[in-house]
Structure 1
């Protein structure tokens, strides 16, 4: 059952990513990097019915309130029948071990529910995934960076590398 649902989500993701028609909402940088997980850039209200129809049950936003003035994403997500969680990550300075642990807890809490994780471009999503892979899943820096890139890591790669190469502290 979950494989069939995942296949339909993957087809939807491909259609949304490559569709140019005005009838399909365009979700920026949409990907499906892991079972039961999707990643993307910014969402808007028009995306919610499509995501819900694709089986998305939970949305985790890494955006800060300052990024979405006038858009109550939590309200829109909940009114579409999905669970909303927010962990604001303020760029590179938000890439702390404490935030990675909070992020890991949110992903574990989502379990096998199809969950979309997003920020403005998917860059912070990839950064958090890379740090989680290294710090909590004990992957090598190269493996962690590759995993982060699959999820959208781009411009924060140097900040992630710096944290992976820094001596371990409670803030890393």
Structure 2
């Protein structure tokens, strides 16, 4: 199963020619802040060639996997793989390879901070909120983009304070000051939003 949520991108690495053209468009409503909970801590994980690799509960954060890593991910119980990479960034069909392992592939492509739209944040958050029951891998090329998106989820959906969320995002791979600033902006704008609606895939 493949879900595709388009976001006009510019800025990080090149794009994923392997993105499935049969992808299904998803409509995502604006998510909301959640009350503080006992959020799982971040720790290193073994996801094969995908580096860096970390885990917080059932959310895995990583750089680009190799095709052979996907079987390992499926064995770990991963149900959904979210890629933040854009068309042309890899030279193999990741969507197809993920599907062959029985996992769902979701594309939320962006590169620079100006392409990190509310739609990207909202789409990722809607899926990450379900990770307790359906483990998820969120990846880009080097986990730089991943850190920014995950930071928003940590604060708004898991009740983690911004300082801790930022430290963990950097540990997970966030390096771009522009992406960090965009994540902070989104968090500030959405910290009092109503609860998110389910996406229709």
Give the counterpart of 2:86 among 39, 64, 68.
Answer: 64
Q: Which has the higher helix share?
A: 1
C-alpha distance in 2 between matches for 1:104 and 1:80? 23
In the other structure, the counterpart of 2:60 is: 38
**Could you tell me which of 84, 107, 127 is aligned with 2:105?**
84
**Number of residue pairs matched?**
148
Counterpart among 29, 47, 54 of residue 52 in structure 2: 29
Whole-angstrom CA distance in 1 between matches of 2:85 and 2:179: 18
Deviation at 1:148, TM superposition (A): 1.6
The alignment partner of 1:85 has SS state of strand
Deviations 1:42-73 (A, max 9, x none): 112111112222222221111111212x3110
The alignment partner of 1:52 has SS state of helix
1:39 touches 1:125 (CA, 8 Å); kept in 2? yes
Greater mean deviation of Cα atoms: 94-103 or 37-46: 94-103
TM-score by length of 2: 0.62
Using CA pairs under 8 Å that are at least 6 residues apart, name the structure with larger relative contact order, 1 or 2.
2
Counterpart among 154, 157, 180 of residue 160 in structure 1: 180
- TM-score w.r.t. the length of structure 1 is 0.71
Within 5 Å, give how 1:111-126 maps onto structure 2: 111-126=132-147
Extract unaligned runs of 5+ from structure 1: 1-9, 17-24
Partner of 1:143: 164
Q: Over the residues paired in the alignment, what is the CA RMSD in angstroms? A: 2.9
Structure 2 unpaired stretches of 5+:
1-42, 191-201
Distance 1:26 1:132 in 2: 25
**What is the CA deviation profile of residues 9-56 of structure 1, one whole-angstrom value per residue up to 9, with x for unaligned ones?**
x89x34x5xxxxxxxx42221111x11111110112111112222222
Offset at residue 105 of structure 1 (A): 1.1
Q: C-alpha deviations, 1:90-128, integer Å up to 9, x for none?
A: 222222333211211121244422211100001101011
